[in-house]
Amino acid sequence: MKSLLIVVFVLSAASPAAAQGPAFSPGIGATRGDGGSITTARELYASARYDEALALLNGLKTGEGSQASDLKTIEQYRSLCLLALGRADEAESAIAAVVTVDPFFAPTESEASPRVRAAFSDVRKKLLPGIAASSYTAAKQTFDRKEPAAAERMFRDLVRLLDDPQMNGRLADLRVLAGGFLDLATAAAAPPPAPEPASKPEPARTEARAVRAAPAIPTVYGGEEPGIVAPVVLRQQVPNIPAAIIGMTKERGMLDVTIDEQGRVIAMTLRTVIHPLYDSLLLTSARDWKYRPATLNGVPVRFKKIIQISLPRR
């Protein structure tokens, strides 16, 4: 088992390729009083002097003034040294530190051997769900503090993380929540529309001509008129409640939809708020509902339908 964890790019100090080491970009800001740096550690690693490289990296890790980007690079090289020395558990901790700083980081084929990439992949699979859950909490708190621009960035990163192939479809409910709050934050962060420029008053004769030329607005019926036949539901699927907000929604809601002469939903108004996230899902779903249109004396007409939404309690 120990031999399986040894990094395959154990390099000879005499080899030209060894001088290059792995392709992780070394940070140049992290140094310590005796002149040690990430670049020096990289060179020691490339010379297969893993113990010396690790000792230097450990000193850099605990030193003052290291930036997050430096710490990420330090932990990358620590993980490589530890894997080369067969210290798999410690290597996993170093990789976990890298993933925590940058959940999107994964070494490419040009940067690391298959076994190193596999080690990073295994740790990412373990940690990403927890990181995603923590990221959702932080983004939601930012949204609740009425900071939509910052919340939008955080939810966008969260959606990207949840869509990562190594999530493998896990936390699907959280993905729905994050997508819904991303839409809400984006809408809240959008600047208000610029006011329309004031139009110059036109002569009364021109206004009268414009009024006469305006097309007639179709009548929207409500079912009380003589001869009206209400629309027939062809497709009206109400979305399920995401697991993350079960128990937080109202049991009932009311939605007005306007159905045109082709049976399409062309307008929606939510009379009763159920839950901000669920309301967004419901309105999105309602856009795809389909009906056989209402008729007046056999002619299709527009119709406003009131829909009662009843949600089960679990």
Give the model's confidence band at 9: pLDDT under 50 very low, under 70 low, under 90 confident, else very high.
very low
Percentage of the chain surpassing pLDDT 70? 78
Identify which has the larger pLDDT, 33 or 83: 83
Residues 6+ apart with CB under 8 A from 85: 50, 51, 54
How far is the C-alpha of 59 from the C-alpha of 70, rounded, in Å? 13
Q: Tokens in use for 39?
A: 């670049």
Domain with CATH 3.30.2420.10 in the chain: 219-310
Mean pLDDT along residues 50-54 = 90
Would you say the pTM of this structure is higher than 0.85? no
Model confidence at 106, pLDDT cuts 50, 70, 90, reads confident
Please state, rounded to an integer, the average pLDDT across all residues of the chain: 80
Q: 219-310 falls under which CATH superfamily?
A: TonB (3.30.2420.10)
Q: Could you tell me which residues are beta bridge partners of residue 246?
A: none
Contacts of 120 (CB under 8 A, 6+ apart): 95, 98, 99, 105, 106, 107, 112
Please state the separation of Cα 120 from the chain's center in Å.
22
Between the CA of residue 247 and those of 178, 224, 274, 294, what are the distances in Å?
18, 37, 11, 37
